Structures are given as C-alpha cells and as structure tokens.
Chain A
Amino acid sequence: MKILVCITNVPDTTAKITFTDNDTKLNKAGVQYIIGPYDDYALARAVELKEQLGGSVTVLHVGEADADPQIRKALAIGADDAIRVNINPVDSYFTAVQIAHIASENKYDLILMGRESIDFNSGVVHGLVGEMLGIPSYSPVMKLEISGTTATIAREIDGGKETLTAPLPLVLGCQEPISEWKIPNMRGIMTARTKPLLVVEPVSVEEMTSPEKYSLPAPKGACKMIPASEAETLIKLLRTEAKVL
C-alpha cells in the first residue's frame, strides 16, 4: 500500500492570533507551531494501515523550511519519507496543484489529509486534489478500513454518519475518531533524523486569489451576570433584550 499523507504546519490551538506589518502578516512571536490536528488523525491512520498491510507512508508538506521540525515529527510517528514543496502557498487551489503534481508522478493508493487546516479552515484541498487527479474524494472521514483494493469509510453527515464502500485510489479528508493521535517514541525520533526529506521547487500556478489584509473580530462587550436566585430573569432578557427567544 502506497499512502501519501499531506500535513499542514499551523499555530497551535491556544495561540493568540494578532497581525503585524499593517495587518498583512501573522505575528509569529511566541506562537508554537504544530502539525495540524486533523492531519495528525490522517497520519496516525496511515501508519496503522501500513503496519497492518505493508507498504509505505510518504509525508508531503507545501511550505517553507520552518515546517521541517513538524515534518521530522511526522517521520518519527512512522512515515517512511517526506517531501516538502518549497513555497508558502497563497491559497487552497495553489496547494492542491502542488500536491496533485507530486501525486501524479507516483501512484498512491491513498492520499490522506485532515478534513481542513486549522489556520484557514477551507476544507477544500482534498476535493481539489481528487478532481485534479481524476480520483474520488470524500470528507469528513471518521473511519477507514482497507480490504484489498477496496476502502470502507464512514463519513460524517448532518447529525450522523453514512458508510460507503469505494475502490482505491481515493483522496480522503480525515477527522476523529478515524484513529487516535500518535506520539513519537524515542526510537521513532532517532530514526526520523536519517529518513529522507526531499525538498522540491513548486510548479507554477495561475493566480486565483491574492491576500489583501487580515483583521480581528470586534471585542466582546462585558458579560451581564445574573444571580442564580433570579435565574428566570435570563429568559426575560433573552426575549426582550437579545431577542433570541
């Protein structure tokens, strides 16, 4: 089984988000970077499948060298080799073209990634890549089993889930509980240092979008506290003041 896992390099979930340079850049001071949590689910499942069925897991990242520690972590978790496309992508379409280009040169049975990255929350790269490669794509995938060249997946739908069986190859956007996040062990960390990390240049993509500026939400007003002994007042306020009842 040849599996490609695409990972993002993103600020951790507790990061305070602020901007600099006239609101055109993220203020990275004090920000901890991690592998996107949804990508972590994809990576963990890929490593499990490799252990079960044999084959290889390649990790792919579209981004600059500051992502290398996260790529090494993915290798430590159990990926066999890594590829980094050396550019900071401008949008999802751009990212997808890079991934599709790498994938078109290697026949992967499965291309896995998180259902979305937690920085831009687009959730479209898997669909773009699938279409660009002429391969079906599904997201969000909560369960994945492989039998021969057939995949059985459970996909989240509004208020529930549906089970699908489809032939490989597939592109899947993953989420919990497809797997549990893996923590690299000492052996993994040691071997990760010598696993291959190939850096390649991007292919050109026509310009689809161009970022203008960032902004922050309007600050929240003070919380109106209601004594527990007068809890009913809340309901009155929700009707007359907030007008949501």
Chain B
Amino acid sequence: MSVLIFVELDNGSVKKTSLEAVAYGAEVAKLTGTTATVLALGKADSSALEQTGSFGATKVLHAAAEKLSHENSLAYADVLVQAVQQENSKIIIISKSGLGDAVAARASAKLKAGIVSGVTDLPVINERFSVKRSIYTGKAFSTVEMKSEVKILVVKKNAVEATEGSGSATVESFSPTLRDSDFQASVGQIEKASSELSLTEADIIVSGGRGMKGPENWQPLLDFAHALGAATGCSKPVSDLDWRPHHEHIGQTGIKVAPNLYIACGISGAIQHLAGVNGSKYIVVINKDPEAPFFKAADYGIVGDIFDVLPKLTKAVQELK
C-alpha cells in the first residue's frame, strides 16, 4: 500500500520538480504509516533513480521500455494504473506540469480516484483527508476533503522543502503491458531550446518587459541572467511583439513560475503578469517608474534606468562568485 510517486525524466535523470514530488510523497508515506515507491518510465540512469532514495523513496519501479522514453500521457497513465494495482497504492503523487496533469487526469478516470491538482501543502489527515490547493492563479487557496478510496494529488512546486539526505532507493524492473492504441499518434518535429534553463525548473529567473524598449536591448539582461545562472522570461506584450520567443511568456495565459528569485526588468506589473509569478519566493522589481504597480508585489525594488542598473548588478554578481 505504498504511496506511489510518478516522476518525469529528462535525459535519463529525474527532473528537479519530480524530486520535490518524491520528497512530498515520502512525507505523506510517513503520515500514513507506509513507504514511498517511485514510478519511472523510459530510459534512465540507474544512479539517478537510486538517488530518489535520498529524497525519501524506498523503491523505484522502472519501466525501461524504449517506447516509453518519449512523453506519452496516454501510455503513462495506463502504466501508472498497472503500478498502482501492483503496489495496491491508495495515494498517488504527481508533480504539476502539462504532462503531470494529463497523466493524473487519465489515471483518475481509469481508477475512479479523486483528483486535486495544484496542491500546495501536505495533506491534513485526521477523521478526514484534506488538501490545500492554489486557485484563482495564486490569488487564493481552497481546502478540500478527498473522499475517494484512492486519491491523486498533483502537487505544485515548493509544496514541501525538498532537502537531499542520504539513502539510496532499490531499483526494480517493471514490465507493464503496453497498448497499441496508446501509440497511434506519430511525433513529428520537436523544437526545444535545450541549452536554455527551463522556466518551471529554474531557481532564478530574470524577466524583461516593454521597459527594455526593444529586442536589440536584451544583451544586458542576458548578461545578468548568465552571471546568475538564471533562466530568462518576458511579459506578454514583449512576446506578442515577437521581441522574445513565445515560450518565455510568463503570465496569466503564459507560463506560471515559482522560482526562489524572480527579477523583473522594465515590467510594470499588470495583474495578468502577477498571476504568473505570485508563486515566487522573492520578487525584485527594477523599473524607471516609481509608480509601477509591480513594486507593491515586490520584496526588493530599484527605481532607475534599467540600462544603468543592470550592468552594475551583473558586476556585483560576478564579484560575489
């Protein structure tokens, strides 16, 4: 009856957000008097899988079939259900992402298991099993009781503090039956800016808005991000103007991020942008306009000329190292 944690792989290693899900699952296992089992699909480095043990997993079920190496929510959900049945799991933990939500949703329907997506804290378990989740794009929370026998929790970043301990999980081979019907789609082109840091995994993000005045002015921001080892993002107007690629668009209808540090350069802070960043631990706002609404949501602020401030900050970061 272990807690089952579905992890996402990236080039053979377990994604950072998935390791957080493992830590979450391990805490839930402690709360419910059981152990945490990880389910990993596709090609993976066995050392990366064993490392989930230092986040609290006891065992990893590894379905290494080549067919599972490419992201496929249909097949993944079916394999997840087979793992749940083998482990007799009652609680399933998945990290919230496009893939995570898709897998969780199909598994929920297959298992007739209650599903809550956007969980922000560990469940409170007494006479009831209650979870807190983020709603209204981070403007509020809802605490709900989960009543089904099997429960699927899709967990947001930072739901638990994931500290790496010591410990190694045992990796066990898992051979689920795969259905042809799950592999009907043919994958064409994959475009990935693989050299860039993923916005949803990044600890630090530097983001630019219309205050940057044009795409030709991005170098100081890129230099600053590079010095910090940060991922880069932008506001919707900047993305609509094609100053930056669409996958950098952070906001209500773009990517929602939750880094430790979000640095906004020349972004005024419209509500739609705030909706994309309110999960950030710390927000820094740099803007020429002292009335920019973003300052109200910031932890630190500098009123000044971006092109004057950014090089100073870059130099300070370089001297820090």
In whole angstroms, how far apart are the Cα atoms of A176 and B10 in the complex?
Answer: 25
Binding stretch for chain A, among B34-42, B46-54, B140-148? B140-148
In whole angstroms, how far apart are the Cα atoms of A139 and B102 in the complex?
Answer: 7
Interface size on A, residues (CB 8 A): 81
Binding stretch for chain A, among B55-63, B162-170, B305-313? B305-313
A200 at the interface (CB under 8 A from B): no
Query: Given A118-B252, A139-B101, A244-B260 in contact, is the A211-B142 Cβ separation under 8 Å?
Result: yes
A188 to chain B, nearest CB (A): 23
Tell me if A245 and B300 are in contact (CB < 8 A).
Answer: no
Query: Given A37-B253, A167-B184 in contact, is the A244-B193 Cβ separation under 8 Å?
Result: no
A sample of 26 inter-chain contacts (CB < 8 A) reads A13-B137, A13-B271, A17-B139, A92-B115, A118-B252, A121-B118, A127-B73, A127-B77, A157-B192, A159-B199, A161-B191, A165-B186, A176-B253, A206-B148, A209-B145, A215-B142, A215-B143, A217-B138, A225-B303, A226-B300, A226-B302, A228-B309, A231-B313, A232-B315, A242-B300, A244-B281
Binding stretch for chain B, among A61-69, A128-136, A191-199? A128-136
B158 to chain A, nearest CB (A): 13
In whole angstroms, how far apart are the Cα atoms of A14 and B271 in the complex?
Answer: 6
Q: Which residues of chain A come closer than 8 Å to B247, judged between CB atoms?
A: 156, 159-161
A208 to chain B, nearest CB (A): 4
Interface string of A1-43 (1 = CB under 8 A from B): 0000000000101110101000000000000000001100000
A48 at the interface (CB under 8 A from B): no
Q: Which residues of chain B come closer than 8 Å to A118, judged between CB atoms?
A: 136-137, 252
Residues 232-276 of B at the A interface (beta carbon under 8 Å): 246-247, 252-254, 260-261, 271-272, 275
B97 at the interface (CB under 8 A from A): yes
A187 at the interface (CB under 8 A from B): no
Q: Which residues of chain A come closer than 8 Å to B298, judged between CB atoms?
A: 223
B217 to chain A, nearest CB (A): 17
Tell me if A177 and B299 are in contact (CB < 8 A).
Answer: no
Tell me if B313 and A235 are in contact (CB < 8 A).
Answer: yes
Give A165's nearest chain B residue, CB to CB: B186
B-side residues, CB < 8 A to A, are: 10, 71, 73-74, 77, 97-99, 101-106, 108-110, 112-118, 130, 132, 134-148, 154, 182, 184-194, 196, 198-201, 203-204, 228, 246-247, 252-254, 260-261, 271-272, 275, 278, 281-282, 284-285, 295-305, 308-309, 312-313, 315-317, 320
Tell me if B184 and A166 are in contact (CB < 8 A).
Answer: yes
In whole angstroms, how far apart are the Cα atoms of A199 and B186 in the complex?
Answer: 39
Q: Which residues of chain B come closer than 8 Å to A161, judged between CB atoms?
A: 190-191, 247
Q: Which residues of chain B come closer than 8 Å to A96, judged between CB atoms?
A: 109
Tell me if A212 and B194 are in contact (CB < 8 A).
Answer: no
Interface centre among B140, B191, B313, by most A CB within 10 Å?
B140
In whole angstroms, how far apart are the Cα atoms of A125 and B281 in the complex?
Answer: 29
Q: Which residues of chain B come closer than 8 Å to A221, judged between CB atoms?
A: 299
**Total contacts A-B at CB 8 Å:** 281
Q: Which residues of chain B come closer than 8 Å to A17, judged between CB atoms?
A: 136, 139-140
In whole angstroms, how far apart are the Cα atoms of A125 and B188 in the complex?
Answer: 26
Tell me if B98 and A123 are in contact (CB < 8 A).
Answer: yes
Give B272's nearest chain A residue, CB to CB: A13
- Tell which of B10, B74, B144, B282 touches A91, judged by Cβ atoms closer than 8 Å: B144
Give B197's nearest chain A residue, CB to CB: A159
Q: Which residues of chain A come closer than 8 Å to B296, judged between CB atoms?
A: 220, 223
